[in-house]
Structure 1
């Protein structure tokens, strides 16, 4: 008997903190305004944790992924958490998710590709699951960006929010959903986004023993994204022998609404093919795509038997970027 070897998305889920911070709220300590932030980013609000750490957000997102399914957590063979803001270097966030979900048979690890992390995580999980005995893999993107943001820096403080989201992958006799991919890193430009930098600290080496806050060269990242992402999207289409007209939705990392508008123009696509929720959550790094996917699934815009072709594309620190072409059942 041939074992099933096709991978599909079985369920989605997300979780964001209750505390909502508006652009007007930020004016209490930053020299900014709602109009200034909205014009440059499209962001109106963001959710900030009031004490919940990354693992807590990811655990709740994982519970929401499994809610409504009949999946036994012991049938999950793999848990990947994409994050650049873990609770600690060890234990991993994924291992804490594994413990709380009682997924006793799951191997678990964190993956850090910054804002590209969820796309990277999906690409890794899809390949690993094909060769595993158990039929399910859980991929979560989760961040508490408020831990690493310099809240006195107007150029970055207005951008980020906290949250988590994920998907459950299933290996079964079904239509293959993962069609093509394009993943890259350009470490030469890694200086454009730095977070958590830590100098060597031992009795023989002078250095600080604290983690650095996030710093970002917005102009360099903007230039990189607007050149690299259209090429990456075209690459996955060419690899699969598909045309842009066949794509129903392009889900981009929710970093900046203006970048998304430029992507639509460069790809010669109507803007309504690019769903957004950045106005509500800001940039939640590795969590942005899975939160968006879950919202669209709950609205029945994607998945739910709609038989759609979608593209997931993300970019972030490293510098990293990646694109997946999916055909949803």
Structure 2
């Protein structure tokens, strides 16, 4: 059996924030953001001036899901499960996926929330595909999203911060995406041929840590977000190549049979570097991070939304995603029927 992508929807909160606005707010150098990160704009669920959180993760995930359902040709009452991947849930409990289901008016169906970084969206696709192909379900929602800005202290003096610390304030954005999976070709009629999801971090230090502070430790002198950007720059391109060739070998596809490449979306600069290194000159690159910021589990859906408007019958696409928190290989393969 095959699972199909019938529709995709996304949500980016608020107006885009450019590097000039971000630099003024944080008191950092705009040119450094342009050169070191290479991301031009991003979206925040939080108002940079007041610090107010204007949208919850559940809010933007529900909006993305509504758009995915509308584009799929599947009625909301025919959705039989919801799977969500996120690294930044609104609460430890209740699970954010259940707030999303509530906003969508869905009830009496299974819901699943996967706690993961950039690979969470792919893990959600894998679970959704399994429920379709092996669980007897006919249609379901797969969602990915993150609100990273709530973890950043906007009142902190960053004038003397090291680049490895500053990167967390300029790399990330907020957003959400969703896809409707079906048991037969509906809507966009794109077959999900393979999904790769594999832990590869044995004995390797995490590349990223996000703390969750409780009553006992919220006043400890720890950063909420820590990023080993040097390790990410070193390992992500290598892991991305491994994912690409593993998918090609598993599928029996040659490099010239891939029409579209969805590379890892770390930052504008890193994504350009990795796309060149993957070496698929005949494939059209589908990237978004330079305009959206790194919004974690929303990224594959933002890429998919762009891709589905371009694919024609018989065309193929490969997506590659790397999670650096404890190093996960992930990716998927698509074919338009």
**Alignment TM-score > 0.5, same fold:** yes
Contact 2:261/2:283 (CA < 8 Å) preserved in 1?
A: no
Q: Secondary structure of the equivalent of 1:189?
A: coil
Deviation at 1:199, TM superposition (A): 7.0
Q: Secondary structure of the equivalent of 1:310?
A: strand
Q: 1:95 to 1:124 in 2, by over 3 A?
A: same
Residue number among 189, 193, 216 corresponding to 1:179 in the alignment? 193
Contact 2:125/2:195 (CA < 8 Å) preserved in 1?
A: no
* TM-score, with length taken from structure 1: 0.88
1:295 and 2:306 matched: yes
1:71 and 2:74 matched: yes
Aligned pairs (5 A) from 1:57-68: 57-68=60-71
- CA deviation profile, 1:3-48 (whole Å, cap 9, x unmatched): xx32110001011112321111122243533332222222111111
Q: Secondary structure of the equivalent of 2:183?
A: strand
1:320 and 2:328 matched: yes
For 1:169, the equivalent position in structure 2 comes to: 181
Contact 2:148/2:172 (CA < 8 Å) preserved in 1?
A: yes
Q: Secondary structure of the equivalent of 2:204?
A: helix
Q: Secondary structure of the equivalent of 2:68?
A: helix
Residue number among 271, 294, 297 corresponding to 1:283 in the alignment? 294
Q: Secondary structure of the equivalent of 1:134?
A: coil
For 2:266, the equivalent position in structure 1 comes to: 255
Aligned pairs (5 A) from 1:145-160: 145-151=148-154, 152=158, 153-160=165-172
Aligned pairs (5 A) from 1:53-202: 53-151=56-154, 152=158, 153-172=165-184, 177-185=191-199, 186=201, 188-198=203-213, 201=216
For 2:22, the equivalent position in structure 1 comes to: 26
Deviation at 1:253, TM superposition (A): 3.1
Structure 1: gaps spanning 5 or more residues: 202-206
CA RMSD of aligned residues (A): 2.4
Contact 2:122/2:195 (CA < 8 Å) preserved in 1?
A: no
Deviation at 1:132, TM superposition (A): 3.0
Q: Secondary structure of the equivalent of 1:276?
A: coil
Task: Please give the alpha-carbon distance, in whole angstroms, between the structure 2 residues aligned to 1:58 and 1:190.
Answer: 31
Contact 2:39/2:290 (CA < 8 Å) preserved in 1?
A: yes
Q: 1:110 to 1:190 in 2, by over 3 A?
A: farther
Task: Please give the alpha-carbon distance, in whole angstroms, between the structure 2 residues aligned to 1:74 and 1:99.
Answer: 13
Structure 2: gaps spanning 5 or more residues: 47-53, 159-164
* TM-score, with length taken from structure 2: 0.86
Q: 1:146 to 1:77 in 2, by over 3 A?
A: same
- CA deviation profile, 1:252-298 (whole Å, cap 9, x unmatched): 2321223223223322223962222222111001111101211333x
